[in-house]
Amino acid sequence: MLFAYNDDGRLEVVENVSEARDNFAATDVEAGVIRLFDEAGRYMAPHFPERSERKFLGLKLSSDPGPFHLHPPTATAEQLLDELGPTIVVMPNRWFKDIDAVKAHLSKTG
């Protein structure tokens, strides 16, 4: 399970990285519009190992970073629990009914 925190205050919960790739544009993840956290609420930095650097006459043909992968969280990783103050809504999901349920889970696992 991954938490996806959108900079507009929405929190979404997805099954895994594959579902995150399907649901979120790589450009939004790269720009930090969508930030991904593991099940314990620790930030997982994205990386883009398949980034296309195709150029024609020195001009970049595409700004698409390609599919993203996630680095495991570090010991000093940001915590989702610290970011939840401005959350407007938890999007419907099968794990949590509201923000209080998310906070309780993160307090227990963190």
| 31-86 pLDDT per residue, tens | 999 999 999 999 999 988 766 566 666 666 556 667 899 999 988 889 998 888 77
Residue 97 per-residue DSSP state: S
Domain residue spans of the chain: 2-109
Task: Note the pLDDT of residue 21.
Answer: 94
The pTM of this model reads 0.82
pLDDT at 87 over 80: no
